[in-house]
Structure 1
Amino acid sequence: MLDYSHNYLFVLASLTIALIAGFSGLSLTQGASQMSPPVRKIVVSVASVILGSGIWSMHFVAMLGLELPVAYYFDPLVTLISALTAILFMGLALLIVHFGTRTRAKIMLAGVIMGSGIAAMHYIGMSGMELCVPSYTVPQVAMAFAASIALSMASFQVSYGRRSARNIVMGTFGFGIAVFAVHFIAMAGTGFSLAEEQTTFVPPMSRGVLAFGVTLSAFVLSGSFLLSGATFATRLGGQGGGAAKAPEDQAEAPSAAALNGRQSSEASAEQASSGVATPKPDAQAERRIPYESDARTHFISPDNVSAIRAEGHYTVLYSGNAKLFCPWSISEAEARTGADIFIRTHRSYLVNLDHVTSFERKKDNGVCYFDDTPALPKVPVSRSRLAEVRARLGM
């Protein structure tokens, strides 16, 4: 067996690449589940490429830092297959959590798929080495897969248990550490020996060519990181500082009040087919809330919305069995609907107290329950807003 070591500058660079890719992919998908299916597919596809490329780039940046006493090369076809493997596995994992109802079981399944993809990509990439043959035992491979799956499940649980800014950042570190740790756990159980003869008819890829490819990938990931970071900062600003109304929003408000009877009946029919509660006769048209469905903008009376939840820079409306995507931020929804209908119970929730059927006190916070809203049966009440909510409920 050959002695080997790692250049620690490349080790640090590989961790940085993993973190950059993790943040870019996870922040890009924030709010994707509320987008229209065609747009969601595009976002998930791009995020899959970013995360998968990040896994591949991290691995080969670390491999560039592998110092062996002999020269070694890589099979270009196997190297390409390893990259596609990482992208496909990440794509499947993201499809699971961004299409259909997101449950804990689906989040865990996505983590298992991601972990399997990371480990599979590592060993496929290692099998492409030429002139120098890696070797490992079945228990060593099993340990690497087990560590990869466990770390990936933890990362997905943090990232998708709740899609807040804090969880995105924590999930970024979880993703980066998972990819980084799996590589070096696997390498710790790997030995290297000289190959007796060339095993491929494909011209080998030198470390210089590999470095060129990895550098190009790292450049693209860095660009994605800058764009995602700018968008992420904008979302934080929109949620924290109150939403200023855009000119288009101001222009739409009067037109909403002037909708004719035919448009109102179409919106009512859409609500009925979606399981939305039937509008009340005294609903105020000028305060109707927009939501997107079937490539059209529809409107619903605030009286028929039980709660509004923040989802990135947008919101989700809960009415009966329906979950509706609203283009307003939580701050804009609070400003437009008025305090006489909704009350902020939590930084991420607005609640229509007319739909609250029961309230439960839990130490220093509380919970509001909705019997008429299966889509969202309960909403948390934070400690700072507990007194106001109890007063509005007449308690």
Structure 2
Amino acid sequence: MEFLDYTHNLWLVAASLSISMMAGFTGFSLTKGIAGQTVVMRKLSVTLAAVALGGGIWSMHFVAMLGLQLPIPIYYDAMITLGSALVAILMVGLALLLLHFYPRTPLILTLAGAVVGLGVVAMHYIGMSGLQLCRAVYTLPGVALAVLASCGLNIGAFWVAYGQRRPRNILLGTVCFGASVFAVHFAAISGTRFVAEASLREIGPLIGNETLAIGVVLSSFVLCGAFLLSGVTFLTPAASANAAPAPASQEKVPAATPTTPPVLRIPYEQNGQTHFIDASDVAIVRAEGHYTLLYAGSERYFCVWSITEAERRLAAGPFVKSHRSYLINPAHIVHFERRKDNGICHFILGDQTVTTPVSRSRLPALREALGL
């Protein structure tokens, strides 16, 4: 068996890396801040992000394949090529559903990264099976290296991007994700050999490099548009910081600011549906990772708000922030215990006694709310 020699077009290799970076930034940015959206809007955002990330993985792969230069002409089976793109999108979509519809625990972060890692490998080898006039020959160590590298690198990328949803984490996650997809492709290629075949294996319509290049360019153009749109919201400037000062002679008339009505009901997720509970019935709002838990009677409910968002939305309500991780309703406190430099609040919820800490800096506000 005689293996074909091959080289790479360095310009297309660089283009494939830029596409994977662009896709990572687009997907991670589209899902930023969707925790406060309705279930329907979150599903839409996840769908768009899955198309951006999965389509970017596919685009990167085929731009890199266009940069693979063999001594014979090659074609691609159109149906297999389309199937590889759909696999990437579906696997990324599954990972994003885990991240945005379940508590973001270390297990979920690891599982989501592993799902995307397997999706990248599956997309790569399915796409390679569509080669015509040429057959790819794999080795077990090469496949094992690709699988391990893909899962490991993507798990790391999702830990970085979703450990904290700050702009810095999104940028670092973008770099990690783009580099991981890029590295996995070339790790898999390094363990692959190519053999010329005498005839076409006609499974579906064939597409040549020129047609494939047009398709990849068009998909990349769509990703560029999403990149620009998400970049607008990602780098939102503070209007007050950049506003020019008004002339001294100009009379300043205070603008009427609408009063934000107090939040009377708090949303929570249960059995895949969004329900609401009266704020007055909730005794404690406790931070749980990027989300919160609501304590009401003997029940605990999962709320998609972060503790920061809950504090903002409930600012006009009955709650007092007693600790960086707790908002408490003074009406439900049955006993307050003052200690040397902090305190403890006691609640009777159902048949259990639950305590919450009160930090030193929060003592005055809580004592005022309790009339002490």
TM over 0.5: yes
For the 8 Å contact 2:46–2:96, the answer to whether it is kept is yes
* 1:267 corresponds to: none
- Whole-angstrom distance in 2 between the partners of 1:90 and 1:97: 11
**1:72 maps onto 2:74 in alignment:** yes
Where do residues 240-279 of structure 1 align in structure 2 (5 Å cutoff)?
A: 250=258, 253=261
CA distance, structure 2, for counterparts of residue 150 and residue 301 of structure 1: 46
Change over 3 Å in CA distance of 1:141–1:74 after alignment to 2: same
Identity of aligned residues (%): 40
Partner amino acid for 2:40? P
1:342 is the counterpart of 2:317:
no
Q: Which residue of 1 aligns with 2:117?
A: 115
Q: Indicate the residue corresponding to 2:249 in structure 1.
A: none
Cα pair 1:85 1:117 within 8 Å, conserved: yes
- Is 1:333 the counterpart of 2:323 in the alignment? no
Partner deviation per Cα, 1:119-142 (whole Å, 9 max, x = no partner): 110111111111122211122111
SS at match of 1:21: helix
| Structure 1 range deviating more: 43-52 or 197-206 | 197-206
SS in structure 1 opposite 2:195? strand
Distance in 2, matches of 1:342 and 1:126, equals 56
Matched, 1:94 2:73: no
* 2:43 alignment counterpart: 41
Greater helix proportion: 1
TM-score normalised per structure 1: 0.71
The match for 1:181 is 183
Report the counterpart of residue 248 of structure 2 in structure 1: none
Structure 2 partner of 1:63: 65
**Could you tell me which residue of structure 1 aligns to residue 370 of structure 2?**
none
Q: Contact (CA 8 Å) 2:16, 2:59: kept in 1 or not?
A: yes
- Residue in structure 1 matched with residue 172 of structure 2 by the alignment: 170
1:218-367 maps to which residues of 2 (within 5 A)? Answer: 218-234=220-236, 237=238, 250=258, 253=261, 287-288=262-263, 291-292=266-267, 300=279, 304-306=283-285, 318-320=294-296, 321-325=300-304, 330=309, 333=312, 336-337=315-316, 341-342=320-321, 345=324, 351=327
Q: 1:186 to 1:296 in 2, by over 3 A?
A: closer
For 1:160 and 1:147, locate their aligned partners in 2 and report how far apart those are by CA, in whole Å: 20
* Structure 1 residues 29 and 358, CA gap change in structure 2 (3 angstroms): farther
Cα distance between partner residues in 2 of 1:359 and 1:103: 34
Distance 1:369 1:140 in 2: 59
Q: Which residue of 2 aligns with 1:50?
A: 52
Corresponding residue SS for 2:206: coil
Out of 140-149 and 93-102, give the one that drifted further: 93-102
Distance, in Å, in 2 between the alignment partners of 1:134 and 1:317 is 52
Match of 1:141 in 2: 143
Distance in 2 (alpha carbons) for counterparts of 1:13 and 1:40: 31
Residue identity matched to 1:250 = P
Deviation larger for 151-160 or 122-131: 151-160
- The DSSP-based 3-state class of the residue aligned with 2:194 is strand
Give the TM-score of the pair, scaled to structure 2: 0.74
Cα pair distance change 1:174/1:380, threshold 3 Å: farther
Are 1:190 and 2:204 matched, yes or no? Answer: no
Residue 15 of structure 1, CA deviation: 1.0
- Equivalenced residues, count: 337
Please name the residue that 1:20 is paired with: 22
Return closer, same or farther for 1:303/1:97 CA change in 2, 3 Å cut-off: closer
In structure 2, what is the Cα distance between the partners aligned to 1:199 and 1:359? 80
**Which runs of 5 or more structure 1 residues have no equivalent in the other structure?**
242-246, 254-286, 361-365
SS in 1 for 2:207: coil
- Cα 1:249–1:163 change in 2 (3 A) is farther
Q: Tell me what 2:252 maps to.
A: none
- Determine the structure 1 residue equivalent to 2:130: 128
Corresponding position of 1:211? 213
Q: CA RMSD in A?
A: 4.3
8 Å contact from structure 1 (residues 290, 327) kept in 2: no
Tell whether the 8 Å contact from 1:10 to 1:62 is kept in structure 2 after alignment: yes
After superposition, the C-alpha distances for 1:32-70 in whole angstroms (9 at most, x for unaligned) are 344322222222122111111010000011111111222
Cα contact 2:77–2:203 (8 A) shared by 1: no
Task: State the alpha-carbon separation in 2 of the partners of residues 26 and 44 from structure 1.
Answer: 10
What is the DSSP-based 3-state SS (H/G/I as helix, E as strand, rest coil) of the residue aligned with 1:74?
strand
User: What's the CA shift string for 1:50-103, capped at 9, x where partnerless?
Assistant: 111010000011111111222111111110111011011111111222223332
> Offset of 1:167 from its aligned partner?
2.1
Q: Is the 8 A contact 2:150 2:181 kept in 1?
A: yes
1:250 aligned counterpart, secondary structure: coil
Q: How far apart, CA to CA, are the structure 1 residues paired with 2:122 and 2:348?
A: 47
Letter in 2 for 1:333: R
SS of residue paired to 2:62: helix
